[in-house]
Amino acid sequence: MWTGLKGLVDKNKVTWIGGRGRFEGPTTIRIALNGEDGAPGGGAGGERVVTARDVIIATGSRVKSLPGLVPDGRRIITSDDVTTKADLPKSIAIVGAGAVGSEFASFFHDLGVAVTLLEYLPGIVPLEDRDLSQALERSFSRRGMKVMTNARFDAASVKVSDDGVTLTVGPEGGPATELKVEQLLVATGRAPNTEDLGLETTKVELERGFVKVDGWMHTAQEHVYAIGDAIGGLMLAHVAAHEGIVAAHEIAGEGPEPIDYDHQPRATYTHPQVASIGLTEQQCTERGIAIKKGVFNFAAVAKAVIVGETEGFAKVIADAATDEVLGVHLFGPAVTDLIAEAALGMTLEATAWEIGAATHPHPTLAEVVGEAAMAVAGRQINS
């Protein structure tokens, strides 16, 4: 995929410079060029200084660990290590059950690895609607994974040996037991790559290491923008791409709409999949929004029966007064594709009735969205 992106850069006559750059003032970048061996920014390739009217910071992020847990790439590993190694452990404990931790838990289980998933918070995929979180946890447990929420352990209890890792872990307020696994995967989030950029020579502001921006991706420094993981938030590839589009249109003077993070879809590639957009039911309660909701199960969808994937449901949340869709939450087969319909509907400020009234071809998995939207008014057909 990287070579495809490089091809697009070349096709559009964009100058590509390999090296490490640092700001020297708001619109000047000094680059330590890569050497002939491709080694990044060691100065072996000399230096180059570029200036521009506008600059976009898109330096991404890196995996981070917990204090006291030092990944060694063999016994204590990160998601980066998983994607570059071919060996498969017999057992693994995963610390952190957000999207990344849950995805790798599902992945390793499908490959026959004994999986223990540990989450500090009360539910896995904690940013999702509680119904989705609980459904995924039940699914994992039924499949034979060990899931512990409210998990507590002391990093000092983690012992690494030639044949594996041991740690003492237990639920908050409950008894702790010793857990022994071949590998420990740390999936506790990502840190922004904003150090050593020379930002002190600009007015760019940071908050917990992330670049502060507004809805048009402006930083506090005029003509300097920032996008992607460097600014935090959802930290998803498609969201970063949309932020880049907003920044580019703003630089071009085309007056784009500011990015609305409530309208950015989220996709988690577990089995079954999780996908969502908009507000959760809990967020609506916190904001004092009166809602109505509709839920429809995949078990009643013919295509789900045909493909043998009937676990899961669609949940549509609408404003009780206006019927405008506030959130769509999906759990089941191919829902990371189905969420695009909800994204379009919410961009167009659709009501639940309008989504339900749109004809959904039969038999398709997409019918679950239409039925859930009709269920908001109690008018679902196939139940």
303 and 214, same domain (yes or no) = no
Q: 28 with 133, same domain?
A: no
Q: Are residues 270 and 356 in the same domain?
A: yes
Domain identity same for 83 and 162: yes
Q: Could you tell me the residue range of the domain that residue 27 belongs to?
A: 17-52
Statement to judge: residues 157 and 89 lie in one domain: yes
User: Each residue of 49-77: pLDDT tens digit?
Assistant: 999 999 999 999 999 999 889 999 999 99
In this structure, the answer to whether residues 276 and 241 fall within a common structural domain is no
Q: Which two tokens stand for residue 290?
A: 């009166």
Question: What's residue 41's pLDDT?
Answer: 67
Mean pLDDT of the chain: 95
pLDDT at 318: 98
On whether the pTM is more than 0.85, the answer is: yes
pLDDT in tens, 279-300: 999 999 999 999 999 999 999 9
What would the pLDDT profile of 110-158 be if each residue is shown by its tens digit?
999 999 999 999 999 999 999 999 999 999 999 999 999 999 999 888 9
Q: In the structure, what pLDDT confidence band is assigned to residue 7 with cuts at 50, 70 and 90?
A: very high
Residues 247 and 345 in one domain: no
**Taking residues 336-362, what's their average pLDDT?**
97
pLDDT at res. 382: 85
Last residue of a domain, one of 190, 214, 237: 190
Closest by CA to 269, choosing from 80, 61, 102, is 102
pLDDT digits (tens, 9 = 90+) for 159-210: 999 999 999 999 998 899 999 999 999 999 999 999 999 999 999 999 999 9
Of the candidates 229, 259, 289, which is a domain's last residue? 259
CATH number for the domain spanning 169: value is 3.50.50.60
| In-domain check, residue 62 | no
Q: Tell me: do 277 and 325 sit in the same domain.
A: yes
**pLDDT of 359:** 97
Is residue 70 in a domain? Answer: no
Which of 282, 21, 328, 69 is CA-nearest to residue 189? Answer: 69
Structural domain includes residue 325: yes
36 and 131 both lie in a single domain: no
The predicted structure's pLDDT at residue 328: 98
What span, in angstroms and rounded, lies between the C-alpha atoms of 151 and 317? 31
CB contact set of 285 (below 8 Å; sequence gap of 6+): none
Distance CA 183, CA 71 (A): 10
Give the count of alpha carbons within 13 A of 128, CB side only.
Answer: 28
H helix runs in the chain, sequence order: 2-11, 79-82, 99-110, 130-142, 237-251, 281-286, 302-307, 335-347, 352-357, 367-375
Between CA 115 and CA 311 the distance in angstroms is 21
Convert the pLDDT of each residue in 90-105 to its tens digit: 999 999 999 999 999 9
Residues 284 and 358 in one domain: yes
Band (37; pLDDT cuts 50, 70, 90):
confident
Token output for 136: 């995924």
Tell me whether residue 68 is in a domain: no
Q: Which of 216, 232, 259 is the last residue of a domain?
A: 259
State the pLDDT at residue 293: 98
Q: Is the pLDDT assigned to residue 15 strictly greater than 90?
A: yes
Residue 117 domain-assigned (yes or no): yes
Whether residues 325 and 241 share a domain: the answer is no
Catalytic residues: 362
- Under 8 Å CB-to-CB from 101, ≥6 apart: which residues? 94, 95, 117, 119, 124, 185, 187, 188
pLDDT bucket at 2, cuts 50 / 70 / 90: confident
Query: What does the pLDDT read at residue 43?
Result: 64
Is residue 380 included in any domain, yes or no?
A: no
Answer whether residue 59 is part of any domain: no
Check the CA dihedral 346-352-357-362 and report its sign: positive
69: in domain: no
Express as a percent the part of the chain with pLDDT over 70: 99
Instruction: Tally Cβ neighbours within 10 Å of residue 209.
Output: 13
Per the structure, the count of domains in the chain is 4
Please check whether residues 228 and 252 belong to one and the same domain: yes
CATH code for position 327: 3.30.390.30
